[in-house]
Structure 1
Amino acid sequence: MARGRVTLADGAFFVSVLLAGVAVGGGLVVRLNGDDAVASYLLSNLVIGLSAAPCGYLVARAKPEHPIGWLFLGLGIAPLVSAAIAPLVIGGQDAGWPEPVMRAIVTVFSFAWGWGVFFCLPLALQLFPTGSPLSPRWRALGWLTFATALIGTTSTGPTPEYGASSYLVSPWWEWGEAAAGLLAPIVVFLSLAALAVRYKRGDETVRQQLQWLLAAVVLALVINVPSWFSLPTGREILLLLSFALIPTAVTIAVLRYRLFDVRLALSRVLVYGTLTGIVVLAYSAIVAVLNLVLTAAGAPILAALAVALGFNPLRLRVQRRVEQALYGARRDPVQAVSAVGQHLAGEDLSTMLDALREALRLPYASLVGTDGQRLTSGQPDGEVQRLALLHAGESQGSLEIGVRRGERQLSHADQTILDLLSGPLAVALHATRLSRQLRASRDHVLTAAAEERNRLHRELHDSLGPTLTGAALKADGTALAARTNPQKAEQLATQLADQLREAIDDVRQLVYGLRPPALDQLGLIGALRRQCDELGPVSLKVHAPDSLPELSPDVEVAAYRIASEALTNVVRHSTARSAVVSLATDTRSLSLTVADDGNPVAAWRPGVGLRSMHTRAAEVGGSCDAGPTPHGGLVTAVLPLGVEP
């Protein structure tokens, strides 16, 4: 089916080229001059046909299922048929051909061209750019367009200037012509209204396609501005030349709407179109006023000087307004940065991204942190550029910007504004990361405090509580026995003293679990050396510098607990005869290793001790590795000198 449609498109384009050749050749044969070519509509039909047919051919071959291509082929072939017939009308009239032949030629000449202008072109506008009506209700407009074209092409009056009249001349042709004249503006208005509604409802793709057509229409209007005021500029030629802009723009919109940023072209067209209209109006008004007080020769000169003096300031102002509508505040970095900066104070940076997109009319913006977290506004559509965000020489993430459709990269003005924003954005990302870390640290502290309270609760309930309860009962028993059985009272008092000593030991163990007293008395190095002296028959040594930098209490306790657990494991579970505890520091961390010379064994099975060492290291933001080596067991811990908030 697709191949058949492509072949049909090839054939239709060949017919259009053949008809154009017949029209040009026939004009040369009958020796048409310029006035005759214009009067017979040969020139206008050729220009319309040769503008529309190639564009329709390109669309029909690339997208055979799209009706726009076929409608533009029809828009090209219909006037080309009339153009090919025009030399026959003139030549047959001069040669005195028979009336039936001339009537048949005039019938084709009058009937063909209207289907392109009155049917194919309005229907193409109604279906552009998607190829389907806005909704089922809008299909009625298509039928109205067909009816208008049918009435207009069949309601032809007598044409004695051609030497014969069409076979379609009827007694009611004047009524039909009036009806067509009434319906045609309605069809045109509703077709334009359909484009406006489609632009309002459409997505970004549809809107950019419609902007191509808008740019062509505005440019055509600008080209024909002089004809509005009846200035001698050859307005027919300008009108014909400007018509080619419409099918060209539609073809680009359907096939290559991302060819370049149509908004740039549209902004220039709007600027100079507005200026052209203002200049013509101002010139005419000044000439009219000055003619009342000066001679006719002096008024145009003064009017031209006044317009020339006011042109450039007016151009700058209009251009600024148009570019602000299309590109936002990119030509005013202070305004753009101020608009975005108002949203940097809060914790939610997504509103800042919305403000950035609004300020520069960007389709997409995203902040990506070093931890992979992403904040996004809009959807990428095309190229995406990345801008690194640095604070104090360190990367805080990146800013991703979606390039506008039709652009391959951001403009210098865009880049300048983004460079100005990169510093505050990096600071905002850094502050956001610190805020998250602070919240995580606070949550960790609260969790640790709750766990510690639960541990103390269990310890007090399970050990100290029963001991003190038993001691209270012993004290009551001692008091009763003292009156009747002093020997029994003495025995109970001895047991009471033993239970109280156990309670003291339990309290001491609780305090020791919170922070070993040896750390406060001897420091980390001294406490580890005492630990080595107290543990069994294995030779244990500590290698450490004379002094350590100031450590946070949490890091000091974690290092002591990890080393104590590792030494206990050496004594209890290994065949080692010696072990060495080594301490070293750099500018940011404390390194702790416990190495023994025990026989190598298989991988250590994780137990309570190993999990405890990993947990204590992780709690202060460090790491811990433990396992066998060819030379014995090895425990390595790297802890920060201070715990970051």
Structure 2
Amino acid sequence: MGRKLLGAPGLPQGCAAGRSGVLSVGAFPRDRRRHLALVVNRALVYAVLTVVVGAVYFGIIAVAAGLGSWAGLVAALAAGALFHPVRQRLQEVADRLFKVERDPYRVADRLNQSVQRASGPVEALESAATAIRQALQADGVAVEVLLSDGSLRRVCDGEPSEQATPLIWHGRPVGRLLLAGEPPDPGLLDMLVRHLAEVAHAVRLTADLQRSRERILATREEERRRLRRDLHDGLGPTLASLAMTVDEARLRLSKDPAAVDPLLHRVRSQMATAIGDVRDLVYGLRPPALDELGLEGALRSLAEGPGPRVVVVVTGRLKDLPPEVGVAAYRIAQEAVTNVRRHAHATTALIRLERQEELWLTVSDDGIGLQEERRNGVGLASMRERAAEAGGDCVVTGRPGGGTEVVVRLPLKAEEGAR
């Protein structure tokens, strides 16, 4: 049965782990062949061992016949001394003949080599499944990787059963190993599972990176569309109207100079509108308050707006924050405070910014709480997306005493690694 790579949690028919009578009947001959191979392996080893030890024993007796009664003792000691190393050597030869590997370190090395030859994490997972099936002499192997978005990525080699072993990476579950056949040696299985957990974690990271790239591309394209719309629908018509007014003023200047003054006033008004549009475009790219006041100053300026009283509490140094983290924190706080002023009916709000190993932003209020119709609103989705773009997360919940709380975690690892 060939390998199958699946991106959905469900199993296809070819990876159904023997759930039908047809698959069970097909699995029986494989089990019988495996048991037969084991019997032949052991019989061959002990048959040859008997011949070798017997030849040594009787050979020594024949050669040392002059020793009398001591010849049997010498032969027995020599045969006993040779029994274990000869058996071990014969077992290694038989294992190579029947393609059986009993040394867990060799199995782990073979697994590592198969993973290193792969072109990527997903291919490495396929190679690992094949190597584990061969090492454990299993009827089937499947590796399930639990991705960060809750979906499963599954690789099958053969027809696995539901005999599952969890894959743990640094204390966190990252997937499962499913085996079909007799239970393997616990020590060997534990070693293989540890190596496989590293591969599963690499697959998770690759999937996260791909989703992050897709989000970044989508965000960039959306920003381009917004700029195009603002330039085409806002600044473009304003400049066109300004040019037409200037042309009209130029034509009237020689014939009716008195009529030019109102046109110049109109030009001045249109220029102010154009300047405002440009300012809005620049502000949409990066808030000027961050460059002029820093993150703490920008938040305090944000708190001075109309509406409920907003208190800002800052803990830790903020001057050397990565630019993307500062922008994400300010934009999320701005959206949260806007929601408080528009919908919360609150009297007081609190913006708490704390720098530890990560940057934590909390915006809470004493209003009416998060209404059901606003739980999936555009503003809340925008806050979560901004946090995700910076590698963090955003959780919006209701407070036990009333009101809403927005908790944002923004990692600083990129900035620390760069220094």
What TM-score, normalized by structure 2, do the two folds share?
0.72
Change (3 A) 1:473 1:357: same
Q: Is 1:454 matched with 2:225?
A: yes
Instruction: After TM superposition, give the deviation of residue 278 of structure 1 in Å.
Output: 8.5
Instruction: After TM superposition, give the deviation of residue 524 of structure 1 in Å.
Output: 1.9
Q: Is 1:493 matched with 2:253?
A: no
Q: Is 1:430 matched with 2:201?
A: yes
Instruction: After TM superposition, give the deviation of residue 330 of structure 1 in Å.
Output: 1.6
Aligned residues of 2:310 and 2:348 also touching (Cα < 8 A): yes
The alignment yields a C-alpha RMSD, in angstroms, of 4.1
> Deviations for 1:45-102, whole angstroms, at most 9, x for unmatched residues?
xxxxxxxxxxxxxxxxxxxxxxxxxxxxxxxxxxxxxxxxxxxxxxxxxxxxxxxxxx
> Deviations for 1:491-525, whole angstroms, at most 9, x for unmatched residues?
22221222122111101001111211101111222
Aligned residues of 2:340 and 2:365 also touching (Cα < 8 A): no
Q: Is 1:339 matched with 2:110?
A: yes
* Among 542, 553, 556, the residue aligned to 2:326: 556
Aligned residues of 2:317 and 2:355 also touching (Cα < 8 A): no
* Among 600, 603, 612, the residue aligned to 2:371: 603
Alignment partners' CA distance in 2, 1:477 and 1:311: 113
Q: Which residue of the partner structure matches residue 409 of structure 2?
A: 639
Alignment partners' CA distance in 2, 1:574 and 1:311: 86
Greater relative contact order (CA < 8 Å, ≥ 6 in sequence): 2
Instruction: After TM superposition, give the deviation of residue 479 of structure 1 in Å.
Output: 2.0
Aligned residues of 1:591 and 1:639 also touching (Cα < 8 A): yes
* Among 515, 523, 527, the residue aligned to 2:298: 527
What TM-score, normalized by structure 1, do the two folds share?
0.49
Q: Which residue of the partner structure matches residue 328 of structure 1?
A: 100
Alignment partners' CA distance in 1, 2:338 and 2:43: 85
Alignment of 1:34-183 (within 5 A): none
* Among 10, 13, 29, the residue aligned to 1:206: 29
Classify the secondary structure of the residue corresponding to 1:343.
Answer: helix
Q: Which residue of the partner structure matches residue 8 of structure 2?
A: none
Amino acid at match of 1:321: V
Alignment of 1:339-378 (within 5 A): 339-345=110-116, 346=118, 347=120, 348=123, 349-371=125-147, 372-378=152-158
Instruction: After TM superposition, give the deviation of residue 556 of structure 1 in Å.
Output: 2.4
Alignment partners' CA distance in 2, 1:443 and 1:525: 31
Q: Which residue of the partner structure matches residue 395 of structure 1?
A: 172
> Deviations for 1:181-202, whole angstroms, at most 9, x for unmatched residues?
xxxxxxxxxxxxxxxxxxxxx9
Aligned residues of 1:396 and 1:430 also touching (Cα < 8 A): no
Q: Is 1:581 matched with 2:351?
A: yes
Change (3 A) 1:411 1:570: closer
> Deviations for 1:369-397, whole angstroms, at most 9, x for unmatched residues?
3535333322236x83626444xx44363
Aligned residues of 1:614 and 1:625 also touching (Cα < 8 A): no
Instruction: After TM superposition, give the deviation of residue 572 of structure 1 in Å.
Output: 4.2
Alignment partners' CA distance in 2, 1:419 and 1:641: 33
Query: Looking at CA atoms only, which structure, 1 or 2, has the larger radius of gyration?
Result: 1
Amino acid at match of 2:110: A
Aligned residues of 1:566 and 1:635 also touching (Cα < 8 A): no
Instruction: After TM superposition, give the deviation of residue 321 of structure 1 in Å.
Output: 2.9
Aligned residues of 1:588 and 1:640 also touching (Cα < 8 A): yes
Alignment partners' CA distance in 1, 2:405 and 2:281: 27
> Deviations for 1:138-175, whole angstroms, at most 9, x for unmatched residues?
xxxxxxxxxxxxxxxxxxxxxxxxxxxxxxxxxxxxxx
Classify the secondary structure of the residue corresponding to 2:172.
Answer: strand
Which has the larger share of strand?
2
Change (3 A) 1:546 1:644: closer
What residue ranges of structure 1 are gaps of 5+ in the alignment? Answer: 1-201, 212-260, 291-300
Alignment partners' CA distance in 2, 1:572 and 1:378: 59
Amino acid at match of 2:302: Q
Alignment partners' CA distance in 2, 1:604 and 1:574: 13
Which has the larger share of helix?
1
Classify the secondary structure of the residue corresponding to 2:315.
Answer: coil
Q: Is 1:319 matched with 2:91?
A: yes
> Deviations for 1:24-54, whole angstroms, at most 9, x for unmatched residues?
xxxxxxxxxxxxxxxxxxxxxxxxxxxxxxx
Instruction: After TM superposition, give the deviation of residue 449 of structure 1 in Å.
Output: 0.6
Alignment partners' CA distance in 2, 1:337 and 1:462: 63
Instruction: After TM superposition, give the deviation of residue 626 of structure 1 in Å.
Output: 5.4
Classify the secondary structure of the residue corresponding to 1:270.
Answer: helix
Alignment partners' CA distance in 2, 1:466 and 1:583: 42
* Among 247, 254, 258, the residue aligned to 1:476: 247
Alignment of 1:402-421 (within 5 A): 402=179, 404-405=181-182, 409-411=183-185, 415-416=187-188, 418-421=189-192
Aligned residues of 1:363 and 1:378 also touching (Cα < 8 A): yes
Amino acid at match of 1:400: L
Aligned residues of 2:142 and 2:160 also touching (Cα < 8 A): no
Alignment partners' CA distance in 1, 2:213 and 2:144: 25
Alignment partners' CA distance in 2, 1:447 and 1:520: 26
What residue ranges of structure 2 are gaps of 5+ in the alignment? Answer: 1-24, 63-70
Alignment partners' CA distance in 2, 1:480 and 1:316: 108
Amino acid at match of 1:340: L
Aligned residues of 2:369 and 2:404 also touching (Cα < 8 A): no
* Among 496, 509, 521, the residue aligned to 2:280: 509
Amino acid at match of 1:579: A
Change (3 A) 1:595 1:547: farther
Change (3 A) 1:530 1:378: same
> Deviations for 1:225-254, whole angstroms, at most 9, x for unmatched residues?
xxxxxxxxxxxxxxxxxxxxxxxxxxxxxx
Change (3 A) 1:549 1:364: farther
* Among 154, 157, 163, the residue aligned to 1:384: 163
Aligned residues of 2:362 and 2:406 also touching (Cα < 8 A): yes
Amino acid at match of 2:185: S
Q: Is 1:265 matched with 2:39?
A: yes
Classify the secondary structure of the residue corresponding to 2:301.
Answer: helix
Q: Between the two proteins, what is the percent identity of the paired residues?
A: 34
